Structure 1
Amino acid sequence: MANFQERQGLSELQSGLIYEIVSSLIGAVGALLLSFFFLGGLLGIAIGFLVLLAALVLAILALVRLYGGFSKLEPYVQNMELGKIGAILAVIPFVDFVGWILIGISLYFLGEKYGNDTLKIGGIITAIPIINFIGLILSYSALNHIANYYPTPSTSGASQGQGQYQQSYYPPSPPTPQVYQVGQGTLRGNVATFTLYSTDQLIIRRIALEGTDVYAVSFYPSQINRGNNNLTVTLSSVPVNAIQGALYKLKIEFDNNLTLFVNLIYSPS
């Protein structure tokens, strides 16, 4: 399951995108007001400028949230540093379009990580200057879909959640081995890929898809070591009536009688 930092990163990207969408709409309204009231005296011009100023403030808040979201997801998803650079460049005139191209690329890789084609398409469109507003809407919708699997972190639970994150990566020396899922796994066709963190060496005995008769015909590696382990599992078949974006649970049984459930998001091969 995703830890606190990963859920918080997704939440910050969501809020950053919605801020940017609202900022674009307010900016368009401000430009129209300014053009209509330009001949109407100083009051009309002042109203137009105030609306544009509000849009600018929202745009800056959006980029701050996007930068924070990409930063928090950087340990789990590749190329998130491009989104951070893009959030900085998007503030600078004349190179802001380059910033949004980089943000779009990072959104694409985020969609690839979570197996969400809508987010991949949204990232591509976000990178296109003329129609990037459509990409922002698609990306926000896709992130909202992904976030349904992860409750949005609350302020009161931040301390507890942060402790869970630290435990996942810097666990104490427990009397018995502990295993955690790192990030979100994907199920493409009948092949599952995911990452586990372990405090000790463990041998995998059996893997099956929870609630189905689908089981693993092969998995590599068959033994996990201390630290992060990238696993690939080939299942006996594709889940019946599999739906793109659906969440599945993979049941893993180890030689020390430990059982772990891994979250997978389905995507057709």
Structure 2
Amino acid sequence: MSLQNSEMEGIKNLRSGSLFLIISVLLASIGVIIAITGGLFGFVFSLGTLSAVGAVSSIFGTLIGIVVLVLLSAIIGLIGILRIKSGFSILKSLGRDVGIGGTGTTIYLVGLIIAIIGAFLSIILIGLPILVLAEFLILIGGILIGVGFYRVGEIYNEGLVKIGGILIIIPVGLLNFIGFILAYIGLGKVKPLATATQQSFGPQVYQVGQGTIKNNGYAYITLYSSTPASIVSARIEGVNIMPISISPTVLQIGNNEVTMFFGNLQSLSPNSPYIITFTINIGGNIINISTTAIYQP
């Protein structure tokens, strides 16, 4: 799978995961509404007909409906969290600084599992402390997930995703719900960095081949430019390391062998791929392009 397709898959997983969580909350809310209104009205109606059997049947039917909705809501919510976890993992593997979101989903999932165990054990009263622990983990996981979404919004310069991330961080159910809605809408507007600036028409700058990063602090990338352009800056995504020097800074038409010196790169993982994002000036238009390079110690 190409870099562009992988990045798009990560974004799509975050978006679909957000949609699943939105649906999950809606189903749970419907269950609560049924519990408050439907069951009460059914019970009153049955009592009005002086039918004890009818009252019991009404309550039993309502409870079954609520249980089904809650169970369905939990399953859809679990799918949503797993998709979001997958999305963060894919983007992290591409060098995007969103690992905190993946950590949040892991903590959140652990909290859900503990909550299920605590719910069963609460019957014999020893599950209450477990439920408290589960709620704490879910709270922390949710905050980290929100931070992850905020970073996605920063990386792809999408304001709705950033605002959604902020609302997800706040531990209030309604704000979380609105946050995922905003994130879902914003993610639909996001384009992968690897393809966002490679348009079908007009000037193009893109990578040729595979770049390398050496343990002596140098990195080598080949850039093709369809027009004269200049490199404004560069950085290694995920670790936010910027080069001390870039040569050449002016790109000519055709292939350009770009050499960058970063200095100390001991924080990089051997034989791992990294994204180097270039900020380039093309005739007064500032664009960002992403390239890949393997760290070869």
CA distance in 2, matches of 1:133, 1:104: 12
Note the alpha carbon deviations across 1:100-133, whole angstroms, 9 max, x for none.
1100101111111111122111111111121111
Question: CA 1:230–1:50 in structure 2 vs 1: closer, same or farther (change >3 Å)?
Answer: closer
Specify the code of the residue in structure 2 equivalent to 1:99.
G
1:111 maps to 2:153 = yes
Instruction: Work out whether residues 107 and 119 of structure 1, in 8 Å CA contact, stay in contact via their aligned partners in 2.
Output: yes
1:69 maps to 2:87 = yes
1:223 maps to 2:264 = no
Note the alpha carbon deviations across 1:227-260, whole angstroms, 9 max, x for none.
86554546775x5xxxxxxxx767xxxxxxxxxx
CA distance in 1, matches of 2:193, 2:221: 23
Cα offset, 1:179, TM superposition? 3.6
Instruction: Work out whether residues 34 and 47 of structure 1, in 8 Å CA contact, stay in contact via their aligned partners in 2.
Output: no
CA distance in 1, matches of 2:279, 2:194: 23
Question: CA 1:203–1:26 in structure 2 vs 1: closer, same or farther (change >3 Å)?
Answer: same
Match of 1:143 in 2: 187
CA distance in 1, matches of 2:278, 2:191: 24
Question: CA 1:191–1:169 in structure 2 vs 1: closer, same or farther (change >3 Å)?
Answer: closer
RMSD of the TM alignment (CA)? Answer: 3.8
Match of 1:132 in 2: 176
Instruction: Work out whether residues 4 and 192 of structure 2, in 8 Å CA contact, stay in contact via their aligned partners in 1.
Output: no
Match of 2:265 in 1: none
Instruction: Work out whether residues 34 and 49 of structure 1, in 8 Å CA contact, stay in contact via their aligned partners in 2.
Output: no
SS in 2 for 1:105: helix
Specify the code of the residue in structure 1 equivalent to 2:251.
R
CA distance in 2, matches of 1:193, 1:235: 15
Cα offset, 1:15, TM superposition? 0.7
Instruction: Work out whether residues 85 and 105 of structure 2, in 8 Å CA contact, stay in contact via their aligned partners in 1.
Output: yes
Cα offset, 1:81, TM superposition? 2.1
Question: CA 1:34–1:128 in structure 2 vs 1: closer, same or farther (change >3 Å)?
Answer: same
Instruction: Work out whether residues 7 and 150 of structure 1, in 8 Å CA contact, stay in contact via their aligned partners in 2.
Output: no
Which structure has more helix as a fraction of its residues?
2
Cα offset, 1:77, TM superposition? 1.4
> Percent identity at matched positions?
22
Question: CA 1:191–1:150 in structure 2 vs 1: closer, same or farther (change >3 Å)?
Answer: closer
Match of 1:26 in 2: 27
Look at both structures and tell me which one has the larger radius of gyration over its CA atoms. 2
Provide the TM-score with structure 1 as the length reference. Answer: 0.60
Query: How many residue pairs were aligned?
Result: 197
Q: Which runs of 5+ in 1 are unaligned?
A: 152-166, 171-176, 182-189, 209-220, 240-247, 251-261, 264-269
SS in 1 for 2:190: helix
Match of 2:125 in 1: none
Instruction: Work out whether residues 211 and 222 of structure 2, in 8 Å CA contact, stay in contact via their aligned partners in 1.
Output: no
Specify the code of the residue in structure 2 equivalent to 1:123.
G
Cα offset, 1:90, TM superposition? 2.2
- Superposed, 1:184-203 pairs within 5 Å as 203=248
1:87 maps to 2:88 = no
CA distance in 1, matches of 2:165, 2:252: 34
Q: Find 1:41's aligned residue among 33, 56, 59.
A: 59
Question: CA 1:17–1:112 in structure 2 vs 1: closer, same or farther (change >3 Å)?
Answer: same
Instruction: Work out whether residues 192 and 234 of structure 1, in 8 Å CA contact, stay in contact via their aligned partners in 2.
Output: no
Q: Which runs of 5+ in 2 are unaligned?
A: 44-57, 112-133, 196-208, 213-219, 225-230, 238-245, 262-272, 291-297
Specify the code of the residue in structure 1 equivalent to 2:30.
V
CA distance in 2, matches of 1:169, 1:7: 21
